[in-house]
């Protein structure tokens, strides 16, 4: 039993920090510390730098441009980026579509898409959810019909994150209407410039434009852009969702937010003293820190298992904890950040605006904290809602 | 990072598991509790035979050189069977006090007797006003010729009614809540001026109220005015053992609950098929897995040499596991329904043990507040 990082892992952490210090623009860092989402330009610029270093696709095999890291190194890299904070490599490219192409794609697809994905020459988005298929994803209705050697897609996707930036979309569509739910679905790669695609923004409760509806109206897709076998797209979808495991814990991101919260709570006055000196507030922060420490150790256990089993073993019950606890902590901290701002949390600014607080009506640090709180309610809904996670646990681990 | 057991750890775990599985069923435990001392001398002899009683002591002192990982493994198995013997009080607390406080001569005198199961030691630190503050001490130690005379009342002395020795925290100098001026004194239970009133605790364990009236100390552990850092360190190690014990108890009560949910029929189906109940059981698993992570962390953190950091880490351990074990205990009763309210069913006994374990050396509220006051685990930017 050895419950610490090795010296080699500790020096890898230093190497990541040194790279962040040297290469990440300070403006991007400050933008993220304020709690805002990175702009498209920030993400693209950063990922190109990561790719030049060979670090853009931590999870990919070396032959496709992965760095060949151990699970512990991947964890350290991810956490250090979140803590800095720096943008993470674009998940749609690196953690979702890329691995599916590596696992199920043709040689032609790999050569055509993977290098551009890694370098973020193409921004990908995810066409899974539909108005009638949310948690019950296999209930999707978007159809693809083979006509004259081309697939023709009709239907509607929704909650398509950052489709407004996207060059390509990966799409689940029904290719055999007669088959049972999961069995007649295929996985397509679709150029967003194809005629018949319409993107319509969905403005979420905090006022941000993050998600979209994407409509497919006789969209023609060449046959060589179907991934894997016809009607086996559900295998790709399951594989993709299975890769999400660690991603949702976001321990580093929560630690960065708690650090921010404490900084703010030291400067904010409450009852004539700094807010951090209020025992009740401090206790609420501490509860988050304690749960986060446990989550950090849970992630380590999952990683240690991963190293040992090289991904071949049965799922570890600890993995199911990551999504539920990870999102509960992030939501809890976002709530405390909003509370720290008190009445100055009420300014309703444009969360996508470049500058912050242009009207000078509240302290800079308070700006947008309520927006993040509202926006982060999504976390326990997406990626398999936390209730779906409990259903999975009951079935897979509890035998109920 | 590696959470696997090495060969000797696996052997240790296996031998304890086998022994307890064979001899510590629900009916066995009931019989042990009803016996003369409230626990089993036969099991105690078996622990000695398995090497559990000498486990944490160095080989030169007559022990087996086990570390915190080994203690964790044993504690977890003890928790799985909610054992009644004075392993925690004698080996974890008493043993820790001897390891960190006693000189070689005293260790040479006591460790072989502990390892063989002949000697039992209890820590006497609790006072009526002290609650969870180890430094809040009114019991006094006065110089008496070449030795020390102890006077005061100590409560909730775990297994105090069968102890051969007490380690008593007593004030040599300073005021009631001063952190300096506290000594740790080894007092024989047979010494004149020691009066013991034993009782049963709600979890089935034994404890005693002990009055010391000018009782002569056999020895001092460490410096006479510098006992608190030793006590703090021992309690931090004990918290790691309590954490592991809680994991063992939570695992069993959760498994018992799941078994019941699969077999109990209502409305024509197993109650485990109801989603409201499934989600509660899933939340129990989340709490247990987070606690298991924290128990590993405790085992690592208890070895820390920076006392402030170590203390804060143990606050976090107690706070997280404390809240989890209360939730798991309460839900195990709720998901069973009426059956778990009966003395004849196992779950309630685990619930009671988890309840006492939570409050031992500070409950969740105490540790959350202490950690919050100390600035938490994450520093501001």
The rounded distance, in Å, linking the Cα atoms of A159 and A92 is 14
Same domain assignment for residues B25 and B109? yes
DSSP state of A89: P
List the helix and strand counts (H, then E) for chain A.
13, 10
Mean pLDDT of A94-100: 96
Question: Of A340, A329, A194, nearest to A253 (Cα)?
Answer: A329
Q: Report residue A310's pLDDT band, with 50, 70 and 90 as the boundaries.
A: low
The rounded distance, in Å, linking the Cα atoms of B239 and B360 is 8
| Beta-strand relationship, B165-171 and A185-191 | unpaired
Q: Structurally, what CATH architecture does the domain formed by A124-241 represent?
A: Beta Barrel (2.40)
Same domain assignment for residues B247 and B329? yes
Same domain assignment for residues B46 and B92? yes
Domain span including residue B322: 229-373
Mean pLDDT of A340-347: 92
Query: What pLDDT sits at residue A190?
Result: 98
Overall size of chain B counted in residues: 381
Mutual angle of helices B228-263 and B68-80, in 10-degree steps = 40
Query: What pLDDT sits at residue A21?
Result: 98
Is residue B22 assigned to a domain? yes
Contact B372, A285 (CB under 8 A): yes
Handedness of CA A233, A239, A241, A247 (dihedral sign): negative
Contact B128, B155 (CB under 8 A): yes
Query: Position of tokens 């009740």?
Result: A280
The rounded distance, in Å, linking the Cα atoms of B127 and A363 is 50
Same domain assignment for residues B26 and B113? yes
- Report helix, strand or coil for A146: strand
Interchain CB contact of A377 with B (< 8 Å): no
Contact A61, A26 (CB under 8 A): no
Contact B137, B176 (CB under 8 A): yes
Residue spans of alpha helices (H) in chain B: 7-23, 26-34, 41-50, 68-80, 95-101, 104-115, 228-263, 275-301, 307-336, 346-359, 364-373
CB contact under 8 A, A321 and B1: no
CB contact under 8 A, B282 and A393: yes
Same domain assignment for residues B68 and B90? yes
| Beta-strand relationship, B121-124 and B165-171 | parallel
Quick one: tokens of A202?
A: 């969905």
Q: Chunked in runs of 10, what are the mean pLDDT values of chain B (381 residues)? A: 88 97 98 97 98 97 95 98 98 98 97 98 98 98 96 98 98 98 98 98 98 98 97 98 98 98 97 98 97 96 93 98 98 98 97 98 98 94 76
Domains of chain A, residue spans: 7-89, 124-241, 244-396
Is residue B234 assigned to a domain? yes
Q: How many CB atoms lie within 10 A of CB A26?
A: 8
A310 Rama sector, left if φ>0, alpha if ψ -120 to 50, beta otherwise = left
- Does pLDDT of A244 surpass 70? no
Q: Report residue A246's pLDDT band, with 50, 70 and 90 as the boundaries.
A: low
Interchain CB contact of A287 with B (< 8 Å): yes
The rounded distance, in Å, linking the Cα atoms of B73 and B52 is 11
The rounded distance, in Å, linking the Cα atoms of A138 and A68 is 34
- Does pLDDT of A357 surpass 70? no
B361 Rama sector, left if φ>0, alpha if ψ -120 to 50, beta otherwise = left
Domain's final residue, options B202, B225, B248: B225
Query: What pLDDT sits at residue A171?
Result: 98
Q: Classify domain A244-396 by CATH number.
A: 1.20.140.10
CB contact under 8 A, B262 and A399: yes
Mutual angle of helices A386-396 and B275-301, in 10-degree steps = 90
Verify whether residue A244 is a known catalytic residue. yes
Burial of A34 (0-12, 13-18, 19+ CB in 10 A): middle
Same domain assignment for residues B77 and B91? yes
The rounded distance, in Å, linking the Cα atoms of A72 and A86 is 19
Same domain assignment for residues B201 and B310? no
Q: How many structural domains are present in chain B? A: 3
Same domain assignment for residues B180 and B213? yes
Residue B372: its chain A contacts at CB < 8 A? 279, 282-283, 285-286
CB contact under 8 A, A259 and B320: no
Contact residues, B window 103-132, toward A, CB-based 8 Å cutoff: none
- Does pLDDT of A358 surpass 70? no
Residue B272: its chain A contacts at CB < 8 A? 398, 400
Q: Which of A23, A213, A244, A328 is catalytic?
A: A244
B210: CATH:
2.40.110.10
| Beta-strand relationship, A150-157 and A143-147 | antiparallel
Domain's final residue, options B194, B225, B256: B225
The pTM for the full model equals 0.94
| Beta-strand relationship, B219-221 and B182-188 | antiparallel
Quick one: tokens of A53?
A: 């270093």
Is residue B2 assigned to a domain? no
Interchain CB contact of A285 with B (< 8 Å): yes
Query: What pLDDT sits at residue A394?
Result: 94
Residue A300: its chain B contacts at CB < 8 A? 1, 3, 293
Handedness of CA B187, B189, B194, B197 (dihedral sign): positive
Question: Of B363, B300, B278, B295, nearest to B326 (Cα)?
Answer: B363
Interchain CB contact of B377 with A (< 8 Å): yes
Q: How many angstroms separate the Cα of B314 from the Cα of each of A287, A322, B241? A: 14, 23, 11
Is residue B134 assigned to a domain? yes
CB contact under 8 A, B377 and A293: yes
Domain's final residue, options B68, B84, B119: B119
Q: How far does B324 lie from chain A, in Å, by closest CA?
A: 10
Contact residues, B window 246-305, toward A, CB-based 8 Å cutoff: 258, 261-262, 272-273, 275, 277-279, 281-283, 285-286, 289-294, 296-297, 299-300
Same domain assignment for residues B301 and B210? no
- Four-point Cα dihedral A27, A30, A31, A33, nearest 10: 160
Contact A373, A272 (CB under 8 A): no
Same domain assignment for residues B189 and B73? no
Residue A390: its chain B contacts at CB < 8 A? 278-279, 282-283
> Which 3-state string (H, E, C) describes A120-142?
CCCCEEEECCECCECCCHHHCCC
């Amino acid at each position: 039993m050895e419950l610490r990082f090795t010296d080699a892992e500790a020096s890898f952490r230093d190497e990541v920090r040194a790279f962040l210090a040297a290469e990440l623009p300070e403006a991007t860092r400050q933008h993220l510390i304020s709690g805002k989402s990175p702009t498209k330009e920030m993400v693209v610029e950063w990922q190109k730098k990561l790719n030049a270093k060979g670090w853009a696709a931590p999870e990919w095999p070396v032959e496709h441009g992965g760095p060949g890291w151990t699970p512990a190194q991947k964890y350290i890299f991810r956490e250090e980026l979140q803590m800095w904070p720096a943008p993470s490599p674009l998940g749609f490219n690196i953690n979702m579509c890329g691995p599916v192409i590596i696992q199920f794609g043709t040689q032609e697809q790999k050569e055509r898409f993977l290098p551009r994905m890694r370098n973020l020459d193409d921004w990908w988005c995810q066409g899974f959810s539909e108005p009638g298929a949310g948690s019950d994803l296999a209930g999707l209705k978007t159809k693809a019909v083979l006509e004259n050697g081309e697939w023709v897609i009709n239907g509607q996707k929704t909650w398509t994150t950052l489709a407004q930036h996207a060059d390509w979309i990966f799409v689940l569509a029904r290719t055999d209407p007669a088959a049972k739910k999961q069995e007649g679905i295929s996985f397509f790669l679709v150029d967003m410039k194809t005629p018949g695609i319409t993107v319509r923004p969905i403005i979420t409760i905090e006022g941000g434009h993050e998600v979209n509806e994407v409509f497919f109206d006789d969209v023609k897709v060449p046959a060589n852009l179907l991934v894997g076998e016809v009607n086996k797209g559900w295998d790709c979808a399951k594989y993709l969702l299975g890769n999400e495991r660690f991603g949702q814990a976001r321990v580093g991101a929560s630690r960065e937010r708690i650090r921010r919260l404490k900084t703010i709570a030291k400067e904010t006055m409450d009852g004539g003293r700094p807010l951090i000196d209020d025992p009740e507030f401090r206790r609420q922060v501490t509860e988050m820190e304690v749960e986060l420490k446990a989550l950090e150790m849970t992630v380590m256990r999952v990683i240690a298992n991963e190293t040992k089993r090289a991904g071949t073993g049965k799922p570890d019950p600890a993995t199911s904890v990551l999504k539920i606890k990870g999102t509960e902590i992030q939501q809890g901290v976002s709530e405390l950040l909003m509370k720290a701002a008190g009445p100055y949390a009420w300014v309703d600014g444009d969360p996508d605006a470049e500058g912050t607080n242009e009207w000078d009506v509240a302290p800079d640090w308070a700006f947008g904290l309520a927006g993040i709180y509202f926006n982060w309610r999504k976390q326990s809904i997406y990626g398999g809602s936390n209730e779906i996670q409990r259903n999975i646990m009951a079935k897979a681990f509890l035998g109920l | 990072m590696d959470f696997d057991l090495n060969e000797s750890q696996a052997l240790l775990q296996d031998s304890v598991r086998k022994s307890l599985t064979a001899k510590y069923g629900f009916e066995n435990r009931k019989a042990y509790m009803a016996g003369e001392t409230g626990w089993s001398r036969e099991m105690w002899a078996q622990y000695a035979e398995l090497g559990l009683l000498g486990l944490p002591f160095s080989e030169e002192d007559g022990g087996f050189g086990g570390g915190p990982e080994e203690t964790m493994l044993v504690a977890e198995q003890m928790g799985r069977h909610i054992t009644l013997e004075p392993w925690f009080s004698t080996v974890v607390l008493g043993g820790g006090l001897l390891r960190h406080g006693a000189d070689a001569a005293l260790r040479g005198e006591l460790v072989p007797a502990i390892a063989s199961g002949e000697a039992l030691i209890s820590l006497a630190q609790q006072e009526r006003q002290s609650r969870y503050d180890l430094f809040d001490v009114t019991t006094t130690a006065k110089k008496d010729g070449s030795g020390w005379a102890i006077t005061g009342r100590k409560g909730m002395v775990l297994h105090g009614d069968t102890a051969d020795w007490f380690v008593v925290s007593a004030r040599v100098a300073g005021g009631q809540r001063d952190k300096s001026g506290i000594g740790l004194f080894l007092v024989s239970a047979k010494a004149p001026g020691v009066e013991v009133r034993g009782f049963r605790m709600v979890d089935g364990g034994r404890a005693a109220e002990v009055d010391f009236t000018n009782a002569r100390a056999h020895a001092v552990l460490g410096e006479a005015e510098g006992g608190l850092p030793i006590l703090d360190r021992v309690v931090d190690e004990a918290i790691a053992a309590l954490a592991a014990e809680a994991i063992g108890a939570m695992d069993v009560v959760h498994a018992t609950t799941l078994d019941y949910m699969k077999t109990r029929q209502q409305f024509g189906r197993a109650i485990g098929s109801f989603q409201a109940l499934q989600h509660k059981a899933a939340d129990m698993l989340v709490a247990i897995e987070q606690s298991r992570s924290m128990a590993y962390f405790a085992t690592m953190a208890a070895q820390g040499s920076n006392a402030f950091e170590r203390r804060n880490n143990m606050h976090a351990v107690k706070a997280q596991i404390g809240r989890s074990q209360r939730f798991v205990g309460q839900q195990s009763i709720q998901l069973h329904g009426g059956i778990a309210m009966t003395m004849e069913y196992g779950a309630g006994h685990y619930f009671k043990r988890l309840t006492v374990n939570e409050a031992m050396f500070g409950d969740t509220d105490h540790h959350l507040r202490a950690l919050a006051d100390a600035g938490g685990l994450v520093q501001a930017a």
